[in-house]
Amino acid sequence: MIPAPFTYLRPDTLGAAVAALAADEEAKALAGGQSLIPLLRFRLAAPTTVVDLSGAEGLRGVREEGGAVRIGALTTHHEVARDPLVAEHCALLAMAARTVADPAVRHRGTLGGSLAHADPAADLPAAALALDAEMEVEGPDGARTVPAAEFFSDYLTTALEPGEVLAAVRVPKRTGWSFHYEKFSRTAQAWAIVGVAAAVRHRDGRVAEARIALANMGTVPVRAHEAEQACRDASGPEELRGAGALAGRAGSPPGDLHGGADYRRHLAGVLAGRALAEVVRS
């Protein structure tokens, strides 16, 4: 289908983009467009103004900033997947980015776009939550920072207020941690039925600390706190799988044509166990 008509703006600064978004209640920000353009085409969204962020300077690229890696919101999945700083300090993000959709979508889709769109089945929100990332937000009233745990508020809804733009994502460097992203989907390029993002600090094959976040186990990405506690000091595939199984108790998973809530709970437990075993083995 053809989208409904809209006014298209491509401001060359972030400030001008914020002003344009604030000036029209029905305006939408466009990053890579891999979620927004399908919605426009199906006319599930019909904004009166589309503000293309691609012209605004400083929204793309990865750099070190003290104890964190700062990733511009318009950095594509393809770039995140291959970035050396991401690989060194927060590889979980790259692992998740590599599983998003397909190569053509990864060439256009952006980290910031995925996080701001906040689809509960998306891979990157869960990875951002597991990594305790912070969102740098620019708005009409200035800049503010929102931790990932407070950013995702509901189905396709974030803490971004009207007129605010997600400018960058700051991910704390996790030296000595290992990561794994485990995703289950029924077909190639499909969304996760359940995804598990695991960050683990381990010594001598034993878990010292774990952060586990789940995709598609509720309206927002959720932490698997019980599994995180249970896997402390665990070692060996059996113990790790047992601890991981508790991930099935987290969240309130949806039931849909891909599987019921019970199935998702089972799947989350199995996948978390696999993810933990994989991390500790690596």
Partner 1 sequence: MPDIRVTVDGVRYDDQVEARRLLVHHLRRLGKVGTPVGCDTSNCGACTVLMDGASVKSCTVLAVQADGAEIDTVEGMAADGRWHPLQTAFHRRHALQCGYCTPGMLMAAADLLRDNPAPSEDEVRGGLEGNLCRCTGYANIVAAVLDAAAEMRTPVGGGTA
Task: Examine residue 34 and tell whether it contacts partner 1 (CB under 8 A).
Answer: yes
Separation of alpha carbons 158 and 41, rounded Å: 23
Residue 201: closest CA among 242, 169, 224, 173: 173
Strand partners, 210: 200
Of 58, 103, 162, 176, which one interacts with partner 1 (CB under 8 A)?
103
The nearer residue to partner 1, 52 or 132, going by C-beta atoms, is 52
The nearer residue to partner 1, 78 or 89, going by C-beta atoms, is 78
Residue 105, judged by CB atoms within 10 A of its CB (0-12, 13-18, 19+), counts as middle
Residue 214: closest CA among 167, 244, 247: 247
Tell me how far, at minimum, the Cβ of 224 lies from partner 1, in Å: 28
Task: Examine residue 3 and tell whether it contacts partner 1 (CB under 8 A).
Answer: yes
Write each residue from 108 to 137 as x if it is in contact with partner 1 (CB under 8 A), else as -, in one continuous string: x-----------------------------
Separation of alpha carbons 264 and 252, rounded Å: 10
* Residue 212 near residue 130 (C-beta atoms within 8 A): yes
Write each residue from 63 to 82 as x if it is in contact with partner 1 (CB under 8 A), else as -, in one continuous string: ---------------x----
Task: Examine residue 11 and tell whether it contacts partner 1 (CB under 8 A).
Answer: no
Strand partners, 127: none
Separation of alpha carbons 128 and 131, rounded Å: 5
Of 17, 40, 73, 127, which one interacts with partner 1 (CB under 8 A)?
40
Of 100-108, 122-130, 151-159, 239-247, the segment contacting partner 1 by CB under 8 A is 100-108
Task: Examine residue 13 and tell whether it contacts partner 1 (CB under 8 A).
Answer: no
Of 73, 95, 101, 194, which one interacts with partner 1 (CB under 8 A)?
101
Which residues are within 8 A (CB) of 189 and not within 5 positions of it... i.e. 6 or more apart? 101, 102, 105
Can you list the positions of beta strands (E) in the chain?
Answer: 7-9, 27-30, 49-52, 62-65, 68-72, 134-139, 142-147, 152-154, 157-158, 165-172, 177-184, 194-203, 206-215, 222-223
Tell me how far, at minimum, the Cβ of 196 lies from partner 1, in Å: 21
Task: Examine residue 156 and tell whether it contacts partner 1 (CB under 8 A).
Answer: no
Task: Examine residue 48 and tell whether it contacts partner 1 (CB under 8 A).
Answer: no
The alpha carbon of residue 187 and the mean position of all alpha carbons in its chain are separated, in whole angstroms, by 21
Q: Give the up-direction half-sphere exposure of residue 271: CA atoms within 13 A in the CB hemisphere.
A: 28
Task: Examine residue 186 and tell whether it contacts partner 1 (CB under 8 A).
Answer: no
Task: Examine residue 41 and tell whether it contacts partner 1 (CB under 8 A).
Answer: yes
Task: Examine residue 2 and tell whether it contacts partner 1 (CB under 8 A).
Answer: yes
> For binding to partner 1 (CB under 8 A), which residues are involved?
1-8, 10, 30, 33-34, 37-38, 40-42, 50, 52, 54, 78, 101-105, 107-108, 188-189
